[in-house]
Structure 1
Amino acid sequence: MSDLIIQTAQGIAELRGRFIRHERYEPLRARFQLLIEKRLADIAAGRTTDAHGIALSGASGTGKSCAMAQLLNSARDYLSASSFPQASIISLRVPSPATLKFVGQMVLRALGYNLATERQAWYIWDLVRHQLRARKILFLHLDEAQDLSSRGTAKELNAVASMLKTLMTDEQWPVGILLSGTEELETILNHDPQLARRLDTVHFGPLSAVHHAPEVIALVDGYAQRAGISADASVSILAFAERLIHSAAFQFGLVIEITIAAIEVALLEETETLTQAHFATAYEIRSSCTDAFNPFIVPDYFKIDARKVFTREMQ
């Protein structure tokens, strides 16, 4: 394997590992910080009150998972230096399709507890509550939480809501719940008002080509600088930012993915400047489309459905 490929792979891995703060992240961070401080205050005073949490929803590609990962990593660092350093947070991804029993087993494994025999769901979740208390878990994060109710039946929704509320209102050790997922997650919350009022809701909506274009210009320039190259003037104007936002189907996370992919193309070409042509190549690799359906090539890019791949002719 060539040194160029190795160096490029290492550089791209570093870029992917960086988190870009954006205007929607700060309200999420502030809300979570307040929840942490309230819980620490209750623990210091010897009080046991119902825990609260946060539900983060948004379409695929909006950057929810990255935002939650950054949020939890920062919170763990903060807790380790707090007045209650033994406190912890666990995070796991809900499988699809999911059952409450299987999710309970996953939580136990994340807590380092392995069941020796087959058990019923009620027994598993009773163990979950005991282990959360024993290991001083302040918050439980469930990503792709919409899959907690994949069938969406009233019985299933009731069971999910009941389980979450039980954890948050445990008389000995209430646990805050953090949920992140697609808009289908909102169905679970809207089904049970008691659960909804215990969760602050945050929604990552689509980008606005007009409002967010300056932020996207800064993002492209920042990533290029971190990669050791410069952004060409053609990718540092509002018109290009609007084109990039459209190409990413108006999703913040996809803007980042396409930008990093374009930088990868530039690094492999050993060029010192990131241009629109690199974005066009990155989009072609991503979507396997012809030039006529590449939004970085055609003038009337707004007619292209950026959510489709393998586009070679009019639908």
Structure 2
Amino acid sequence: MSQKYVKPERLSLRNHAELSEKWVQKLIADDPSILGLGDLVLRDQERIHPRAGRLDLLLQDAETKRRYEVELQLGATDETHIIRTIEYWDIERKRYPQYDHCAVIVAEDITSRFLNVISLFNGTIPLIAIQMQALKVGDSTTLVFTTVMDEMTRGLVDEDEDAEAAPTDRAYWEARATKTTVSLADELLKTVREFDPTLDLKYNKFYIGLSRDGQPFNFVTFRPKKSHLNLDIKLPETEEIDTKIEAAGIDTLEYNKRWGNYRLRLSKEQVKGQKEVLRDLIKLAHERRTS
């Protein structure tokens, strides 16, 4: 069966009678992944900065904790929006220096002159430029975001502080991942409670942690995905632990040297089948947390 081709029509949002900047802002706020910057979570929108206006969107990477100060502009980039983008980034990084920050400007037309100017800053000011195209396909309208200038990589923030700053609930994670993968955190909580029955799961936007009497008490954290669960265990990297994990056939992500975490990628079968190995690792982490 042959595929039907529909030629898209390029739209100008700046001159459109119905599609506004607020419309674009809401689309990104509802699904930040459409920007193509990774697994981002909305922290705030229309964030008021005294004497500097309103920051359109504040986004944060769910894994690395990098924050993105996003300025939207319909039409072509201009010097006013460039200055505003950098100013918002500067205010946020001074207010919250424990986070890594990146300025992002999203515009319909990223001019070559603009790229030449902001490329002078990139390296001292982490800055991303994203070109946005509105296309009408049949009766539908879509947006295409293309990164035309990327940023530098920065650091992370303490997990306990993040848990306090961005609380959420179980329903959030079941929608973000699945009920099945969130239930894997319940299974591992049973193991955790063998060593401390007072601990509970603590839900926030970036991971599911542990709490004691409502306060963060993290030596393991959980990040449910669509088909698996990422488990972070706070342990020093040693050959003995490496061998234990490898012998169990557990998939691993790169060791997080900054925060001292093993990062395991667990399927439902591995949570059940490697219960003793996971118990040993959790016990070690608990002993280090309470010593």
Q: Same fold (TM over 0.5)?
A: no
Larger relative contact order, structure 1 or 2 (CA cutoff 8 Å, min sep 6): 1
- Structure with the bigger percentage of helix: 1
- Structure with the bigger percentage of strand: 2
Could you state the TM-score of these two structures normalised by the residue count of structure 1? 0.30
Could you state the TM-score of these two structures normalised by the residue count of structure 2? 0.32
